[in-house]
Amino acid sequence: MHNMPSIYGMNFLEKSMLGIIPETVIIIFAFFVLFLAFFEKLAKRNNSYYLSLIGIVFSILYVLMLAGRNISGFYGSFVFNGFDAFLFIAILFSGLFTVLMSKDYIENSGMPAPEYYSLILFGLSAMMFLVSSNNLIMVFLSLEFMSICAYILTGYIKDNTRSTEAALKYFVLGAFASAFLLFGSVFIYASTGRLNLYGIHSFLQNVSYLGVAGSGGSIGIKVYISAGLILFLIGLAFKMSLFPFHSWTPDAYDGAPTPVTNFMATGIKLAAFAIFLRIYSLIYDFNVMNFNDILWLLAVFSMTFGNIAALLSTNIKRLLAYSSIAQAGYILTGIIGGGFYGYSGTLFYLLSYIFMTAGAFSVVIIFENSNLISLDIKKYSGIGYKYPFIAASMSFFLLSFAGIPITSGFMGKFYVFSSAVKSGYNWLVIIALLNSAFAAFYYIKIIVKMYMPDKEPAAASSNSSVQGNIPEIAGGAIDEGIMITIIICLILTLFMGIFPQIFINFANNSAGFLWRI
């Protein structure tokens, strides 16, 4: 490799590196933050917090600079195009919110800060690598990188049994899922002989063009590829927390530190959906097997199960976890709907989902007590009078989850469901609509709790003891990072609900890149 091929005046390495600048920036800052741990004086102040914020902002700027380019680097292992630019921005925003809401939480937990922030940054870079990876090796490596960061972060509160247990459950099921994904790659590789996703695409194109069904030994290629893709799908479905593979979700979300829960609910889910979308859009045309039927079942069961379980749960973090299973079902509806509008609707929904979820979790953090056990829903009663702004924004996020008009959740559901109707999945949409009506019940239950405190304790005791029931904010004042997060999420949720055209244009642009090879 003495003579690197030169492309447009840049050599191979320069051109390849250009595509991974945003990830590289994040990794460099992650190492800087990690080095802070060596110096006691530097580690004690909030330097690592500010440094990671700066890193994420720099990375966002680099993504904006690169947006519009179409780069394929490292012999096709990576691609960077409009699709990646959109998802990079979304993922970086999820990381930004996670860092912003972590400051007080990590201080209260008594755990060292630099390692925590550097793990978040490493996890972010892994998510970005996962989104832009175009090779089965890269998909596996970045998925594992991302998951390992998430396992450590889940168990980060060392002496907390809940945190350790969550990490244990998450690890066992996460590694189980990775093994499935890996074994799926074996079958895909054995039948096609390629690891590059575009290579697999062109292989399938040739096979379907020639009409050859079986040429790979006694069992046909079609069977091998179908088996591989199903195993691959199972592996990703764990990360997307779809119904039969969801069992880790409530436990891991509940036991993990709340900022990390936000990181899992937004970033990891986003990255898993993104890579699923990329692979699915490449293989869908060839009708290897009827995948949409499988996804149909997964979507319906995820929605129904998630909503029923959320209705029955009394812990706010578990409720949000089950609701995120249901949301994954709605997002999957867009992928089933398919085509250009289905995928752009899915991207729009994913973007709006990030802002709603980050907003809801930052409100949860505010009212968390010092022993890091998340609150019972009952304790939210009466918050509406003591903290009107926070309660109002929480209500808004919950209404957005439920899909009430003028929120981004409504527009997201509208785009996703209309694309499914266009493709003729009427029953799926009917079930999804029934589910969202049903889901509104438990979201509104929390809002009612916040604004209409239970009458009985007020009648039984004096006024001052009612005041005592309302959870105090730790430290007396709300951390400005959390406040910034809530305000950004509020503005964007509202904005995406009222002027969806701007954002759907971005989503359309990026969805168009899914087929541009």
Partner 1 sequence: MNNYLTVASIIFCIGALGVITRKNLIVVFMSLELMFNAANLGFVAASNYLNLISGDIFVIFIIVVAAAEAAIALGIAIAFYREKGTLDIDRANELKN
- Of 312, 329, 508, the closest CA to residue 401 belongs to 329
Alpha-carbon distance values, 251 to 139, 255, 258, 354 (Å) = 26, 6, 12, 21
Does residue 190 touch partner 1 according to CB under 8 A? yes
Q: Which of 189, 301, 414, 451 is the binder for partner 1 (CB under 8 A)? A: 189
Q: Distance between CA atoms of 46 and 53, rounded to whole angstroms?
A: 11
Residue (168 or 494) nearer to partner 1, CB: 168
How many other CB atoms are there within 10 angstroms of residue 430's CB atom?
12
Residue (171 or 401) nearer to partner 1, CB: 171
- For partner 1, how many residues bind (rule: CB under 8 A)? 48
Does residue 238 touch partner 1 according to CB under 8 A? no
3-state DSSP call for residue 369?
coil
CB of 150 to partner 1, least distance (A): 10
How many other CB atoms are there within 10 angstroms of residue 340's CB atom?
14
The set of long-range contacts for 205-210, using a CB threshold of 8 Å and a minimum separation of 24, is 205/286, 207/286, 208/286, 208/287
Q: Where are the beta strands (DSSP E) in 85-197?
A: none
DSSP 368: -
Concatenated DSSP letters for 412-473?
A: HHHHHHHHHHHTT-HHHHHHHHHHHHHHHHHHHHHHHHHHS--HHHHHHS-HHHHHHHSPPP
Q: Which of 312, 430, 433, 452 is the binder for partner 1 (CB under 8 A)? A: 312
> Is residue 36 within 8 Å of 114, Cβ to Cβ?
yes
Q: Which of 161, 463, 464, 501 is the binder for partner 1 (CB under 8 A)? A: 161
Q: Which of 195, 200, 277, 496 is the binder for partner 1 (CB under 8 A)? A: 195
Q: Which residues from 116-145 bind partner 1, rule CB under 8 A?
A: 136-137, 140-141, 144
Does residue 214 touch partner 1 according to CB under 8 A? no
CB of 243 to partner 1, least distance (A): 17
- Residue owning tokens 């991974």: 20
Residue (178 or 352) nearer to partner 1, CB: 178
Residue (160 or 281) nearer to partner 1, CB: 160
Q: Which residues contact 9 (CB under 8 A, 6 or more apart)?
A: none
CB of 234 to partner 1, least distance (A): 11
Q: Which residues contact 6 (CB under 8 A, 6 or more apart)?
A: 12
Does residue 372 touch partner 1 according to CB under 8 A? no
CB of 71 to partner 1, least distance (A): 22
Tokens at 75, concatenated: 């012999």
CB of 138 to partner 1, least distance (A): 9
CB of 292 to partner 1, least distance (A): 26
Residue (30 or 490) nearer to partner 1, CB: 30
From the list 88-96, 162-170, 334-342, 442-450, the region that binds partner 1 by CB under 8 A is 162-170
Q: Which residues contact 45 (CB under 8 A, 6 or more apart)?
A: none
Residue (73 or 82) nearer to partner 1, CB: 73
From the list 78-86, 100-108, 217-225, 331-339, the region that binds partner 1 by CB under 8 A is 217-225
Which residues are registered as beta bridge partners of 494?
none
CB of 164 to partner 1, least distance (A): 5
Which burial class, exposed, middle or buried, applies to 325 when counting CB atoms under 10 A from its CB (0-12, 13-18, 19+)? buried
Does residue 167 touch partner 1 according to CB under 8 A? yes
Does residue 158 touch partner 1 according to CB under 8 A? yes
Q: Distance between CA atoms of 16 and 261, rounded to whole angstroms?
A: 34
Does residue 468 touch partner 1 according to CB under 8 A? no
From the list 247-255, 258-266, 287-295, 346-354, the region that binds partner 1 by CB under 8 A is 247-255
Residue (162 or 386) nearer to partner 1, CB: 162
Q: Which of 50, 176, 438, 451 is the binder for partner 1 (CB under 8 A)? A: 176
Concatenated DSSP letters for 388-412?
A: HHHHHHHHHHHHHHHT-TTSHHHHH
Question: What is the contact surface with partner 1 in residues (CB under 8 A)?
Answer: 136-137, 140-141, 144, 148, 151-152, 155, 158-159, 161-162, 164-169, 171-172, 175-176, 178-179, 182-183, 185-187, 189-190, 193-195, 216-219, 250-251, 254-255, 312-315, 318
